[in-house]
Amino acid sequence: MFRIAAICSLALLLAGCGGRIVPSPDAGAQRLVRVDWYGFESFRIRTSLGLSILTNPFAAGSTEFSPPKGLETDVVLITDEDSSRNYVDGIENTPRVFRGSVGVGANSAAGVRLLGVPVYPNPEQPGGSAMSVMYRWASDGLKFAFLGDLPSMPSPLELSRIGAVDILFLPLSGDKLNTANRMEIIRQLRPNLIIPMGSRTAMERFAGGFASVHRLNGPAALLSKESMPAQQTVLLFR
């Protein structure tokens, strides 16, 4: 209880913390980013200017979760071509989609600069359709990294291209990474907030290895640069 209360007092502005949005004394001066979780690796991140980025939309039956209906977004980030991460047919509008080779390298969408870093099953033989793309972008003073189901452990060079971030979306699915690999990724990227992605069981198991864990009462959070916790924290959506 002390740990959760301390996080709330730092004004993480978490929707669902105690069933409401926790206000900050100077919340009006902060630029807020809203993060909505739809299940598995699918999130919609909405900037203070209203630009929305959707990650890894999934098809019905591909995960334990039910996909949302009537979803609209400006940008879609797809890490690889599995049906649990690439289902764009359920999106109502026509967003700009980054996937495969289109997602690799520097891109810009509605004023947000994106960097896609490819990871291959065999780092010594790059190429082929089995690659996954790690994404990095910045908005409202926050640096984000989104890593989907990785086919191998990213090299130090690949991780250095992502660099230090404030918020890390970390995959728990697949069998190519172990706990030591994930902890090394965290060590190199040094996030303030870690958002694990996968099954509910896997996320709870992962969170058990950290001293600071915050469990939301709902599927949404409001975040700002000023609200980042001093202690590295795992954030679990419900």
Summarised one tens digit per residue, pLDDT across range 75-128 is 999 999 999 999 999 999 999 999 999 999 999 988 899 999 999 988 777 776
pLDDT computed for residue 205 by the predictor? 96
State which residues form the domain around 67: 2-236
Specify the CATH number for the domain of residue 202. 3.60.15.10
Helix (H), strand (E) at residue 145: strand 142-146
Could you please report the per-residue DSSP string of 185-198?
A: HHHHH--SEEEEES
Rounded distance between C-alpha atoms, residue 165 and residue 150, angstroms: 18
Structure tokens of 76? Answer: 């879609």
Quote the number of domains for the chain: 1
Give me the torsion for CA of 25, 30, 36, 41, rounded to 10°: -120
What pLDDT, on the 0 to 100 scale, is given for residue 1? Answer: 28
Query: Distance between CA 21 and CA 14 in Å, rounded?
Result: 6
Percent of the chain whose predicted confidence (pLDDT) is above 90: 79
What does the block give as tokens for 232? Answer: 């590295």
What is the value of pTM for the model shown?
0.88
For 111, the token pair is: 């004023």
